[in-house]
Structure 1
Amino acid sequence: MTTKLQRRLESLSVRIAKIARLRTWQLLVILLLLTFVSATLLRLNNIGMIERRAAVLAADKSGDKAKIASSLLELQRYVSAHMNASLENGLYLESSYARDRDRAIAAAASANNPSSEVYKQASLDCRSRFVGGVASFRNDYVQCVVQRVGSLSPGQDPAAGLKLPRADLYRYDFISPAWTPDPAGFSVLLTLLLALWIAARWLRFALVWLLIKRRFVRIYS
């Protein structure tokens, strides 16, 4: 084990020595290539998140709860294992919310509710105005029903008969780590290390130049 480790260390030191012998312009070319590769891999990570988010939204529209749960879990695992894969503005299960919201309104309009006719009429009046879309998820449709019930039955609390689902329970937001041990992460790490190497080389050259300049000033002063 010790011999193998020594061989690996010797091989690594040889590679580092070869890199150290490269000219600065050669290192800059390598840095440019690494930057391009890193940007491409980071973009691929983001595309992977977009594809899995689309799968969640498709499952949400289908109404298959098991599929929704599995696709959400897959999305969460992917985001937590890949950098540059955050959900930006989050994810809304709009179709699931709309179904549960409609069930709540239908329950309020059922025969067991003394005010069922009022809720039925309010639901019919508002349905033509808000049919799906982001507006319905913002509770515009629900607010319309509540306001319509209040106008049709002034002496009644319009929200009392509605057991609406909480909209925030249908929102998911997964944030990826700042760095992950995936191809994009290692590429970014190599890019940063090479950039630091080049900066250190330039700093060393600057210090040597200053020392030489001071020595010449002392000699000829």
Structure 2
Amino acid sequence: MTSRKRNLHHAQKSLRPLKTVYLVILLALVVATSVYSLRQNNLNAIRLRDAVIEVDKNNGDIESALQDLRRYTYAHMNTNLSAGTTSIQQPIQLKYTYERLLASEKERVSKVNEKVYADAQVTCEKLYPIGLSGSGRIPCIEDYVAKNGAKEQPIQDSLYKFSFTSPKWSFDLAGISLAIACVLLIIIVAKVSLDHWLKGQMRDHL
């Protein structure tokens, strides 16, 4: 047996304990762990998002709930949130906070305008004291209200929408198992390729 053939035989023998089937089984287990962990990451993000919505609905500590969601999303992969059957990420919308602000603004304007109208009546009665529908009184009231009345100020809904992006990879069970799976896949491909090459070389030296 030539020196080269002995070396090839020794290399092939050294690879035998590392059974490919065992590596494939290990890879399958690691991939299953990674898939499960990725799913758990997403479910936890959904739970935290739902907590934000619930706190918003009950007018609770929204900032704290948002911070919890933000920290979790930034620290774990696969925590981007999509809506419906689409994969497009949707922002977190503080719908109830926004609706409360709109209602508050409407109430503010209504109260201001009630006072303005009352002031207009007093002012215009002094200017036009003859009869409620006397010449000039109604136009006077309308003009006074137009000049001094309040208008609703627009509230930007973008200020109440939040979007958090998860990392491509994270140092958690999902990320670590995914990295191990990639390493195992490389080892399996390399081993299969090397086994095939060694067998070919052995045949050539028979």
TM over 0.5: yes
Measure how far apart 1:211 and its partner are.
Answer: 4.4
Measure how far apart 1:114 and its partner are.
Answer: 8.4
> Which residue in the other structure is 1:186 paired with?
176
> Which residue in the other structure is 1:164 paired with?
154
> Which residue in the other structure is 1:149 paired with?
none
Please say if residues 79 and 86 of structure 1, whose CA atoms lie closer than 8 Å, have aligned partners that are also in contact.
Answer: yes
> Which residue in the other structure is 2:87 paired with?
none
Measure how far apart 1:206 and its partner are.
Answer: 3.6
* Equivalent residue letter for 1:189: A
Partner Cα separation in structure 2 for residue 70 and residue 85 of structure 1: 18
Q: Give the direction of change, closer, same or farther, for the CA distance of 1:170–1:62 in structure 2 (3 Å limit).
A: same
Measure how far apart 1:57 and its partner are.
Answer: 0.6
Query: Larger C-alpha radius of gyration, 1 or 2?
Result: 2
Partner Cα separation in structure 2 for residue 19 and residue 73 of structure 1: 51
Deviations along 1:143-168, one digit per CA (max 9) or x if unpaired, are xxxxxxxxxxxxx9xxx922121011
Measure how far apart 1:87 and its partner are.
Answer: 2.4
**Count of residues in Structure 1 that have an aligned counterpart in Structure 2:** 155
Partner Cα separation in structure 1 for residue 41 and residue 30 of structure 2: 16
Q: Give the direction of change, closer, same or farther, for the CA distance of 1:28–1:115 in structure 2 (3 Å limit).
A: farther
Task: Determine helix, strand or coil for the equivalent of 1:111.
Answer: helix
Aligned-residue sequence identity (percent) comes to 29
Find the partner of 1:80 among 46, 54, 74: 74
> Which residue in the other structure is 2:140 paired with?
none
Find the partner of 2:58 among 62, 65, 73: 62
Q: Give the direction of change, closer, same or farther, for the CA distance of 1:59–1:104 in structure 2 (3 Å limit).
A: same
> Structure 1 residues 104-113 or 76-85, which shifts more?
104-113
Higher relative contact order (CA 8 A, sep 6+): 2
In structure 1, list runs of 5 or more residues that go unmatched.
1-17, 117-155
Partner Cα separation in structure 1 for residue 192 and residue 33 of structure 2: 24
Please say if residues 109 and 115 of structure 1, whose CA atoms lie closer than 8 Å, have aligned partners that are also in contact.
Answer: no
Task: Determine helix, strand or coil for the equivalent of 1:109.
Answer: helix
1:200 aligns with 2:201: no
> Which residue in the other structure is 1:40 paired with?
36
Structure-to-structure mapping, 1:140-151, within 5 angstroms = none
Task: Determine helix, strand or coil for the equivalent of 2:104.
Answer: helix
Partner Cα separation in structure 2 for residue 184 and residue 85 of structure 1: 11
Task: Determine helix, strand or coil for the equivalent of 1:112.
Answer: helix
Task: Determine helix, strand or coil for the equivalent of 1:87.
Answer: coil
Tell me the C-alpha RMSD between the 2 structures: 2.8
> Which residue in the other structure is 2:166 paired with?
176
* Equivalent residue letter for 1:82: H
In structure 2, list runs of 5 or more residues that go unmatched.
1-13, 83-89, 118-145
* Superposition TM-score, scaled by structure 1 size: 0.62
> Structure 1 residues 198-207 or 185-194, which shifts more?
198-207
Please say if residues 80 and 175 of structure 1, whose CA atoms lie closer than 8 Å, have aligned partners that are also in contact.
Answer: yes
